[in-house]
Structure 1
Amino acid sequence: MSAVKDLIGLELAPYTYSVEKGKIRELVLAIGDSNPIYYNEEAARNEGYDGIPIPLTFLQIIDLWGGYSFQQKCELLNLNPVKILHGEQEYQFVKPIYAGDVLTVSGKVSDVKTKIGTSGGMNLITLEFEYRNQHSELVALSRNLTIERH
């Protein structure tokens, strides 16, 4: 069909990210979450955690600060940055992630669909990522859909 279908199976170079207490605190302050488990180790342990856990959307922070920039993703996938939309995002947590963990993130393009409508078309590009901790344990998965309008 088009070169965009050739993206299926494309693997992104892995990157690492050290989960920092400060970044966790920055996120919870930004979203207005005052739960002390995100900045007080004793409060976290009292709630059954082994340390300060990450909030549910923290994987986005990992991708932003440790992964590919928007421009790098556009270049890698040969996408026009002015025609890009974020379609959806999904996270699956396998094991807890704590401040102090060092994550290695690997990703790939798992699917590409092209839709054609009366007002134009679009490419729907699905990227999947695996997050492994410093013990090589799978701790999380994410899937996102990037939409390129044409």
Structure 2
Amino acid sequence: MAIDPAIVGKELPATTSTVEAGRLRIFAKAIGETDPIYTDAEAAKAAGHPDIPAPPTFLFSIELEQPDAFADLAEAGVDLRFVLHGEQSFTYHSLAYPGDVLTATPRITDVYSKKGGALEFIVKETAVTRPDGSPVADLKAVIVVRNPGVGR
């Protein structure tokens, strides 16, 4: 099923979350981060941080706190059994630390297909900001949807 290009420009529900030190440590360990600034507050302070900083890819997890983090894909008619993670990039404006309240506001910025529709792509860009509106990071994710019945 072709993804309707009318979803381009659609703003998805924002998620607000308070960054917690324990969660940052668990995330750092889960991704195999070995730099102690991400798990030890004293090491972080010795390196010039006020506390442990959020690991580089942590901000992506904020959006996953929605009760149904993939509802937007299902609403677009995407069969989640055929979804692949295609690409992810981050542009940082400032670091996040425990106690920071962050809001992730995603929107769909592009939809396109390749291989005669066998592969469809959804580009989602997310602005992560503080309550005063100051930017923390801009995230970009490319979601690939396989259409197994196309091209066979």
Answer yes or no: same fold by TM over 0.5: yes
Residues 32, 146 of structure 1: CA spacing in aligned structure 2 closer, same or farther, 3 A cutoff?
closer
Residues in 1 aligned to 2:126 and 2:67: alpha-carbon distance in whole angstroms? 12
Q: What is residue 51 of structure 1 aligned with on the other side? A: 51
Provide the residue aligned with 1:31 in structure 2. Answer: 31
1:18 aligns with 18
Q: SS at the partner of 1:22? A: helix
Runs of 4+ in 1 over 4 A off after TM superposition: none
Question: After the TM superposition, which of the residue ranges 8-17 and 75-84 deviates more from structure 2?
Answer: 75-84
CA distance 1:55–1:35, shift in 2 (3 Å): same
Q: In the alignment, which residue of structure 2 is the partner of 1:75?
A: 74
1:23 partner letter:
R
Preserved CA contact (<8 Å) 2:125 2:138: yes
What CA distance in whole angstroms lies between the structure 2 residues aligned with 1:69 and 1:147? 19
In structure 1, stretches of 5+ residues that fail to align are: none
3-state DSSP of counterpart to 1:44? helix
Q: How many residues align?
A: 146
CA distance 1:48–1:131, change in 2 (3 Å):
same
1:90-143 CA-to-partner distances (Å, cap 9, x unmatched) read 1111111111111011111001112234xx622111000000023321000111
The residue number in structure 2 matching 1:127 is: 124
SS in structure 2 at match of 1:82: helix
Contact 2:15 2:63 in 1 (8 A): no
Q: Supply the RMSD in Å over aligned alpha carbons.
A: 1.9
Shift of 1:70: 4.7
What code does the residue aligned with 2:17 have?
Y
- CA positional deviation for 1:68: 6.1
SS of structure 1 residue aligned to 2:121: strand
CA distance in 1, matches of 2:85, 2:135: 25
The residue number in structure 1 matching 2:110 is: 111
CA-CA distance at 1:59 after TM superposition: 1.6
TM-score w.r.t. length of structure 2: 0.85
Q: C-alpha distance in 1, partners of 2:92/2:99?
A: 17
Secondary structure of 1:75's counterpart equals: helix
Letter in 2 for 1:128: E
Identity between Structure 1 and Structure 2 (%): 32
2:101 corresponds to which residue? 102
Larger relative strand fraction: 1
